[in-house]
Amino acid sequence: MTHPGEQFYPEGVRWDDTIARGTLPDLLSAAAADYGARPAIEYRDRPIGYAELEAMVEVAASAFLRAGYGANHSVALFLGNSPDHPVNFFGALKAGARIVHLSPLDGAIALSHKLSDSGARVLVTSDLATLLPTALKFLEKGLVDRLIVCQDDDWGAVGNPHTPIPDNPAIVTFKTFTDGAARPSAWPKLSADDVALLQYTGGTTGLPKGAMLSHGNLTAAVSVYDVWGKPSRAERNNPIERVICVLPLFHIFALTVVLLSSLRRGHLISLHQRFDIEAVMRDIEVKRATYFPGVPTMWIAIASLPDLDKRDLSSLVSVGSGGAPLPVEVARILERRVGMKLKSGWGMTETCSPGTAHPKEGPDKPGSIGLMLPGIEMDVVALDDPKKVLPVGETGEIRIRGPNVTKGYWNRPAETAEAFVGDRFLTGDIGYMDADGYFYLVDRKKDMIISGGFNVYPQMIEQAMYEHPAVHEVIVIGIPDDYRGEAAKAFVKLRAGAAPFSLDDLKAFLAGKLGKHEIPAALEFVEELPRTSVGKLSRHELRNRQPAQPKQPQLATGGGS
């Protein structure tokens, strides 16, 4: 059998079902035409209808066109979870531009690189105190020419700290930017092959690189999930789901699984600025949310509620975990105490999220990441020869191809060539497939750490730590962490005569240089660090020298930031 896992697919789903491709503005326009006044987003208890959202997007698109930010332009979004994100995301795309997502969790090094590498000279941000001061630094450093500042209180004042918007000709509020922008006689023509998004993901050998995700890649990803879930929706008479969105929209998991997929199907997105467990529980218990995709840290928090037995989670029809390994024990607690089965799938930034998933009915295989989804082909190849396909049960590197897979990295032809064998993408994940077509991950080829659902790159931390005057050499590795799955630990050789410093001192030194999720959770001073035979510092050898620590069994998932 070519695709052995197909025997476990939901009834009526075939591996070779048609996967649709199109453009993202067309996806939204079709949803607006189909669903009209139906609420698309609820934010701070305010509903925004599908047609209303489309109208907001058209105003933004008209303004981007008027300002000259259309074809061949990169527009950076430095936004949290508010309606400002979809309005500007779809608005810039409709104008013909491509989007660059900047994570508010990143430090200055990564953010500066993403701006300069992508060529984005305009940045859309918010007047929130967590965002605007950093955006103003980009302007001061000459990394961008213009800031468009959305005003958070426009969506209802909730007491969030704001930063005053300076009087500067290079800074304009979103209201002023869009005021009087006339709708064009015709919108720019877009192709499914046009790059819609530069989504930065990492490599441990350098700075993050931009995966070029086309309109076709992203709409195909939505279609893959659409095909997979069709029988389940039909079984329930195609209900309108209330989908909780606390996952950050700048992350590929939330963008595809929540925003784009929900809009495609006419669902209501209950949008949260941040993960607040009581706000989420209110969505479930009071507003009767039906679908909650989260990351393991969220599920750990819910599983740890002291009164979980008394909570009413009965409205939830579907739950999911992604972005990082989910401890099997957490899944067991939730199943035992509230009857919810949490199964993890796998995907990555370069696949626009889809890769594998578990069918509703099928063999119970703890630790598996599931079956390859319709339209997606995966195999396992030898680590020393990526053209040599390995038989069932043998461990090697997982390859993938499909209409959702990136064509390569922005301005990185050499790294693009290294990442592909023909049209098959080398994932960097080491694993195997069993006789039933279920995949398992056993290791990561790269040294990346996944902490709380976000990718952390040791070399980025090391580069920042080398700025410390007492650090002579440093290696960063991942260590088990009960809450985040993994955390970074720094091993430091001090300069001659330098005094040791505390972990708190290190955290203070790195604040602002790195994102909070990147700052090491542990620190150890050593006399010497291990090296390879040619004298390079060896992260691999250092890991091997660490005392064995019992690891929780995990349901592994992908999902780069």
Q: Following DSSP, what letter does each residue of 496-526 receive, concatenated?
A: TTPPP--HHHHHHHHBTTB-TTTS-SEEEE-
Question: What would the pLDDT profile of 279-296 be if each residue is shown by its tens digit?
Answer: 999 999 999 999 999 887
What is the model's pLDDT at position 237? 86
Question: What would the pLDDT profile of 173-183 be if each residue is shown by its tens digit?
Answer: 999 999 999 99
pLDDT at 445 over 80: no
Q: What is the 3-state secondary structure (H, E, C) of 108-132?
A: HHHHHHHHHHHCCCEEEEECECCCH
What is the model's pLDDT at position 135? 97
Q: Which two tokens stand for residue 115?
A: 């701006």
Compute the Cα dihedral for 404, 405, 407, 409 and give only its sign: positive
Q: Which pLDDT band, with edges at 50, 70 and 90, does 552 fall under? A: very low
Q: Which of 118-127, 358-367, 450-459 has the highest mean predicted lDDT (pLDDT)?
A: 118-127
Q: Which two tokens stand for residue 337?
A: 């105490």
What is the average pLDDT value for the chain, to the nearest integer?
91
Cα(107)–Cα(375) distance, integer angstroms:
37
Q: Which pLDDT band, with edges at 50, 70 and 90, does 443 fall under? A: low
Q: Which pLDDT band, with edges at 50, 70 and 90, does 448 fall under? A: confident
Domains of the chain by start residue, with CATH: 4-18+214-444 (3.40.50.12780), 46-190 (3.40.50.980), 449-529 (3.30.300.30)
Q: Which pLDDT band, with edges at 50, 70 and 90, does 557 fall under? A: very low
pLDDT at 558 over 60: no
Long-range contacts of 151-159 (CB under 8 A, 24+ apart): 151/126, 151/127, 151/175, 152/82, 152/126, 152/127, 152/128, 155/43, 155/44, 155/46, 155/82, 155/83, 155/84, 156/43, 156/44, 156/45, 156/46, 158/44
Q: CB count, 10 Å around CB of 71?
A: 13
Cα(324)–Cα(455) distance, integer angstroms:
9
pLDDT at 72 over 90: yes
Q: CB count, 10 Å around CB of 503?
A: 14
What is the model's pLDDT at position 328? 67
Higher-scoring residue by pLDDT: 33, 444: 33
Residue 344 DSSP one-character state = B
Question: What would the pLDDT profile of 81-99 be if each residue is shown by its tens digit?
Answer: 999 999 999 999 999 999 9
Q: Which pLDDT band, with edges at 50, 70 and 90, does 508 fall under? A: very high
What is the model's pLDDT at position 458? 84
What is the model's pLDDT at position 290? 94
pLDDT at 297 over 50: yes
What is the model's pLDDT at position 450? 83
pLDDT at 140 over 80: yes
Cα–Cα distance list, 535 to 195, 206, 382, 538, 546 (Å): 41, 19, 27, 9, 20
Coil vs helix vs strand at 147 = strand
Q: Which of 82-91, 308-317, 318-327 is predicted least confidently?
A: 318-327
How many whole angstroms from its chain centre is CA 220?
17
What is the model's pLDDT at position 327? 66
Instruction: Show Cβ contacts of residue 361 under 8 Å, excluding neighbours closer than 6 positions.
Output: 8, 10
Phi, psi angle pair for 476, to nearest 5°: -115, 130
pLDDT at 204 over 50: no
Average pLDDT over residues 114-130: 97
pLDDT at 319 over 90: no
Q: Which pLDDT band, with edges at 50, 70 and 90, does 561 fall under? A: very low
pLDDT at 551 over 80: no
What is the model's pLDDT at position 549? 60
How many whole angstroms from its chain centre is CA 288?
26
Cα–Cα distance list, 545 to 14, 342, 521 (Å): 47, 35, 19
How many whole angstroms from its chain centre is CA 452?
12
What is the model's pLDDT at position 205? 46
For residues 120, 121, 122, 127, the Cα torsion angle rounded to the nearest 10 degrees is 100
What is the model's pLDDT at position 324? 65
pLDDT at 156 over 60: yes
What is the model's pLDDT at position 325? 61
Coil vs helix vs strand at 46 = strand
Q: Which pLDDT band, with edges at 50, 70 and 90, does 554 fall under? A: very low
Q: Which two tokens stand for residue 545?
A: 């020298």
- This prediction's pTM: 0.86
